[in-house]
């Protein structure tokens, strides 16, 4: 029985570790400025926790086999523990856990505490059951006002977010169902939700943020590679949650300008 236990615990441990170590399934390819930092911290955490995982599981399997009750086994050592070991263990764990945490804090702070750069491209995201709308403020750099009374999801785009068409600031606003971003330029994101909570999740950007009704949440990130990236809703928002997805197109600055100009033209 001791051997069977040792075998099952070791096999589970080694197989689990293999799939982590071989990166059979791993974080998707990173394509934003913060991705390398986050992946680095992930790898570090993974290495440290992996060592603890192996040490704890393998010794659990070994100890139950080694100290199994059998004829001729050594008598039990009567002991209530060892305070010194206890203190060493506590201190080591505390240093490991809290140290890891402090290292990761730097990345968090860089993305969230500082405001977006002045040359960042402003995009407002509005989430609703079960669609995403993206608004670009146009040449004036100002988002036009919206009104809940004007919201008409069935008409899509401008009407879906309830844009006041008569306001001068609204004239050049572009609202679309697909997101285009210029590469290597910071995105000054404003996240809003019409009805319930949604979450803007682009795995390749290592970016996720809830969109909460009643709040306009400001965030920023920088895509670094041209390509198409999938956006998925990560917060349960109702029966269509699973299909509330979209594609983020990261293109060159020229292509971005061309695309935006074409949308402006379409609107007139």
Partner 1 sequence: MVAQEAHGSSGHGAPQGFIRKYVFSLDHKVIGLQYYFLALTAVFVGMFLSLLMRIHLIWPTAVLPLVGDIKPETYLSLLTMHGTIMVFFVLTTAPQSGFGNYFLPIQIGAPDMAFPVLNMLSFWTTFVAFIVIIAAFFVTGGAPLHGWTGYAPLSALKNSGPGEQLGADLWITSIAIFCLASLMGALNFITTILDLRAKGMTLMRMPLTCWAWFVTAILGLLAFGVLLSAGILLLLDRNLGTSFYIPLVVVNGQVMGHKGGSPLLWQHLFWFFGHPEVYIAILPGMGVASQLLSTFSRKPIFGYKAMVYAIMSIGILGFVVWGHHMFMSGMSPYSAFAFSIMTMCIGVPSAIKTFNWLGTIYKGRVRFQTPMLYAIGFVSLFVSGGLSGPFLAQPVLDIPLHDTYFVVGHFHLIMGVAAIFGMFAGTYYWFPKMFGRMMNETWGRVHFFITLAGTYAIFMPMHYLGMAGQTRRYSQFTEVAYQTKLIPLQTFITFAAIITISAQVIFVINLFWSMFKGPKASDNPWEATTLEWTTATPPPHDNFGGVTPVVNHGPYEYSVPGAPKDYVMQTDPVTVTTH
In which element (H, E) is residue 99 found?
helix 83-112
Q: Looking at beta carbons only, is 120 or 263 nearer to partner 1?
A: 120
Which span (172-180, 182-190, 235-243, 253-261) binds partner 1, by CB under 8 A? Answer: 235-243
> Phi-psi category of 174—alpha, beta or left, where left has phi over 0 and alpha has psi -120 to 50?
beta
Let me know how long the chain is: 268
265 binds partner 1 (CB under 8 A): no
16 binds partner 1 (CB under 8 A): yes
113 binds partner 1 (CB under 8 A): yes
State which of residues 186, 206, 250, 259 lies at the interface with partner 1 (CB under 8 A): 206
The CB density around residue 73, as the number of other CB atoms within 10 Å, is: 10
State which of residues 21, 94, 261, 262 lies at the interface with partner 1 (CB under 8 A): 94
Q: Write down the least CB distance from residue 198 to partner 1, Å.
A: 10
67 binds partner 1 (CB under 8 A): yes
Backbone angles phi, psi at 76, to 5 degrees: -65, 140
The DSSP symbol for 168 reads: G
Which span (14-22, 116-124, 132-140, 177-185) binds partner 1, by CB under 8 A? Answer: 14-22
Q: Which residues contact 27 (CB under 8 A, 6 or more apart)?
A: 39, 42, 203, 206
Q: Looking at beta carbons only, is 139 or 239 nearer to partner 1?
A: 239
Q: Write down the least CB distance from residue 260 to partner 1, Å.
A: 26
> Pairing between strand 207-211 and 179-182?
unpaired
SS3 165: coil
State which of residues 151, 169, 183, 226 lies at the interface with partner 1 (CB under 8 A): 151
Q: Write down the least CB distance from residue 233 to partner 1, Å.
A: 7
192 binds partner 1 (CB under 8 A): no
21 binds partner 1 (CB under 8 A): no
Q: In what order do the strands lie in the sheet with 179-182?
A: 179-182, 245-251, 227-233, 198-202, 207-211
250 binds partner 1 (CB under 8 A): no
CB 164 within 8 A of CB 144: yes
5 binds partner 1 (CB under 8 A): yes
114 binds partner 1 (CB under 8 A): no
């Amino acid at each position: 029985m001791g051997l069977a236990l040792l075998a099952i615990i070791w096999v589970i441990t080694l197989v689990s570790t293999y799939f982590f170590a071989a990166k059979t399934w791993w974080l998707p390819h990173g394509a934003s400025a913060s991705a390398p930092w986050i992946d680095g911290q992930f790898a570090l955490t993974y290495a440290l926790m992996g060592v603890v995982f192996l040490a704890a599981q393998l010794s659990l399997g070994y100890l139950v086999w080694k100290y199994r009750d059998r004829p001729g086994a050594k008598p039990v050592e009567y002991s209530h523990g060892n305070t010194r070991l206890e203190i060493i263990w506590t201190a080591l764990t505390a240093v490991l856990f809290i140290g890891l945490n402090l290292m990761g804090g730097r990345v968090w702070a860089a993305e969230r505490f500082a405001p977006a750069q002045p040359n960042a491209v402003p995009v407002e995201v509005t989430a609703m059951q079960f669609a995403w709308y993206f608004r670009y403020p146009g040449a004036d750099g100002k988002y036009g006002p919206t009104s809940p009374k004007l919201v008409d999801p069935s008409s899509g785009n401008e009407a879906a977010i309830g844009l006041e068409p008569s306001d001068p600031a609204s004239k050049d606003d572009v609202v679309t169902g697909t997101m285009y971003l210029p590469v290597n330029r910071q995105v000054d994101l404003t996240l809003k939700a019409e009805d319930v909570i949604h979450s803007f999740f682009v795995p390749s950007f290592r970016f996720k943020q809830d969109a909460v009704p009643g709040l306009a949440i400001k965030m920023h990130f920088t895509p670094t590679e041209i390509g198409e990236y999938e956006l998925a809703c990560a917060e349960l928002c109702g029966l269509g949650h699973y299909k509330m997805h979209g594609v983020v197109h990261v293109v060159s600055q020229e292509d971005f300008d061309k695309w935006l100009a074409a949308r402006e033209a379409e609107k007139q």
